[in-house]
Structure 1
Amino acid sequence: MDGIWCLLFLLPLLTWASAQNVHRRMEYKYSFKGPYLAQKDNQVPFWTYTGNAIASEESVRITPSLRSQKGQIWTKNPTNFEWWEVEFVFRVTGRGRIGADGLAFWFTNAAGVEGPVFGSNDQWNGLGVFFDSFDNDNKRNNPYIMGMVNDGTQVYDHEHDGLTQQTGGCLRDFRNKPFPVRAKIEYYKNILTLFIHSGMTNNDKDYEICMRAENIQLPSAGHFGVTAATGGLADDHDVLKFIVHSLRSPEDMAQLSVNQEEEEKFKKEFDQYQDKTKKAREDYLAQNPDAARQEQKEEYETGEERELRQIFQGQSLIAENIRSLHQKMDEIVGRQERTLGLINNIGSGAVAPGGGVPPVGGVPPVGGNVVGSDNIRRHEVDALLNNQRDIVSTARDIKNFVNEIHQKSNQLLTKSSAPQGSAQPVGYDLHVTLKEMQEGLNIVKRDLGSANQHLQRIPAGGGAQGCPQANCVSTSMFIGFIVLQVVLLIGYSMYRDSKEAQAKKFY
């Protein structure tokens, strides 16, 4: 009986001693952690993420706190080691007292695809560790952590949260913890062990065992992955760190050391051969100086030289394009000059009575009546008539406008001359000003009438009479002057009315 107790006491010590001899090596191609987790192209090196997963510099958010979301991240390459240990640091946070659906760690023979089991496919071949935060069977046993090994034939039992299919598990609350929750999953010599850090302290060594199972058969090479899913309820599922260590026994290390000895032997032989080749090259260059100079010219360029060469090539290409553009511009300018020359020749040359153009060289046809360039042409007459019609129309509009202003000024004069109430009559200065304005308008009206009559006397058949040379006021200046007078008149009337209203107060 005492021997049995001694064996039970020594067994953990022997296991611990054997574990101390295990060689641990970090596998960076199967790991990720912050900072600078996501690169400039928003990709995680050696990993691929799909669905609703989002990678940032500090973590990978597998799913955001939105309903009906699924996300996943998987290693691109399968493992090349049989035994391993994974340190898995994550946060599950949400506003509600209950979250959904949960997070899953995977080691399967092939990278998973989107599916119903915590965001990944069902009937997988390998290991799945589920951090289930929603109670589907209403037994009040969630949040729950469980491990399940599947050979590719089992279908996950959602109604009972997979409790009948689990390899092992424990009841732990991992939601809304003050510190990140840590999980350490170890698979060595067909023994699967799961350790959980509660997230209540910042001590990264404060682990407690959650499950341990023996005779576990997992694929010798597989893909690591993390998936998550939300349903009617939602949580943020963030993975901060995923560190993988390969585990090798002393026997495996001895085999590796033998392989390393062979590798060092081959490396030594390669170095000797490389030194021999280098010496032969130096001897050849010493005997052939011309070849040495040629080789110096053909040496590999540095980064600065490569950059300068690329800049020079780009500038040369730009200069060539500019040169071709200059040639095309010269061609266009030449064509324009030739066209303008032809137009000038046509304008300054002779025109036949039928409107024909003289032949090349400016020689008019024999026997035809030649009309000089000083005589007016039909299109010029039409343009002149159109301009005269526009002037007549504008003059009529101005005349109508002046008549309206004249009528309004007469009304203002009539209104201002009539006494209003007990106010005093308008002063002498106002009457004089208004009469002067009326006389000026009459003069403008008379001038416009004479101008209109003169324009109407122009024959419609196309006389070549020009406009009389006179210093006239432009239309815009005249209209501006009239508007200014009206504004002054209205302003003065308003000022007078205000003065009369003030005068009434004293009576």
Structure 2
Amino acid sequence: MSALNKNLIVLATLSCILVLVNTQSVHRRFEYKYSFKPPYLAQKDGSVPFWEYGGNAIASGESVRLAPSMRSQKGAIWAKNPLTFDWWEVDIMFKVTGRGRIGADGLAFWYTTQRGDYTGEVFGSSDRWNGLAIIFDSFDNDNKHNNPYIMAVLNDGTKVFDHKSDGSQQLLSGCLRDFRNKPFPPRARVEYYLNTLTVYFHNGMTNNEADYELCFRAENVVLPRGGYFGLSAATGGLADDHDVIHLLTTSLHTTQQQGGQQISADEQQKLDREYQEYQQKLEQQKDQYRKDHPDEMKDKDGEFDDWFESDGQREFRQIWQGVMTLQDSLREVNKKVDEVIGKQTNSLSLLSAVYSHTQGQPIAPAQPGQPPAQMPALPIGRHDWDGLVANNQLMINTIAELKGFIIEIARKSDALIAASGAGAGAAGAGAINPQFLAEMRDSIHQLKTTVAGVAQRMSNVPQVVQQPLSSCPDISCVSLTGLLVVVAAQLTLMFFYAVYKERKEAQAKKFF
């Protein structure tokens, strides 16, 4: 029983220690001396505060281009000061863009005991490094189709990086993620806390800063203290633009550390003095830029309002994009439904017209014990039916034109009769207005021309249906052309009769 009690006491003690360690709060502090970000990332002279860059790297006010999209380019940027804290978190925003389907070679984040070269052999930095490298490899050297790839490689200063196998035998851990040519800059968050290395990755498909996913986590990782941060990139036969937009460093401290390693009061005053000088220098450069570019600068309060959006604006923009997408989808669905309804209506009208012109008798109901009557065969084909529809449409249009012309003739005849009556009363009983005769002659000629045109169009219509749908067995059929000619002749006679009657009435009134 005594041995069991001792084991229980040991287990309880270990449990308490684990709970105490896990419940320790983490204090975070932004480290400006190990960070850079836009705007004003680089000074007027091209330098980056607290950092040094070289090789083919170019620093601007918005980003640091480590390697441009040209062949065999290498560049790097390194922090001037070593780290003074044990645990840290680094947030890197970068862009790797190129016109090719694949790119090369990639970029790397470094934590090493010594600053590396600016034109080294391993992604722009030195080989045989002592520390950690987070490599964003975009070229598939081993032809295993496993790139772009993110991997962590540890080195004690004696190992040579194996480029042919993409370091597959040397990596600590990694994940397959595509970071080239994204609509938004991808981001990587590297956290080293209590000997645990964790890498999160933002794929750049959205502008939401919280869209991180776990790439890998490795425990029992021991890194040397007092190392340097660095970033490097390189191109080969293929080339991409390798841009780093910001690198933000945060120191992590446990409760027992009390803010990390303690520094003396003189060192603290020195750091504060350097920070104040840097702030004054930055403000002077801002004021000078405002004086030199008065039209491009906004007021001081809203100087950087356009750089960021609030949570409400981002949520409203996402909702608006979703609504617009739904509206486009509904519009497409509505269009497709209208097409289907139109096709169904057309098909039903064609079937109704065809069965209404069939030569057989109506379909009789099926007798008991007999199969249902079959639908009669179509009397004409598809081509004949299209021709018949076109012929009917031409007849409808022609009749509409003739109707409008007859209405116009009736209106003109009324006006001419009124004008001729007034002229006859002024000129005498036997006088005839010449204008009235000319207009009447033109109207008759136009009527003849219209009737002839109608007859010509009707005669040119092709005979689509070879066999008529119905015949006239007992009476002789009259053609449409003859019918139109008879109607036109009757209208002409009625017109002349009306004119003659009006003239007689006018003469009789004048005589009395």
The alignment's TM-score, normalised by the length of structure 1, stands at 0.47
Larger C-alpha radius of gyration, 1 or 2? 1
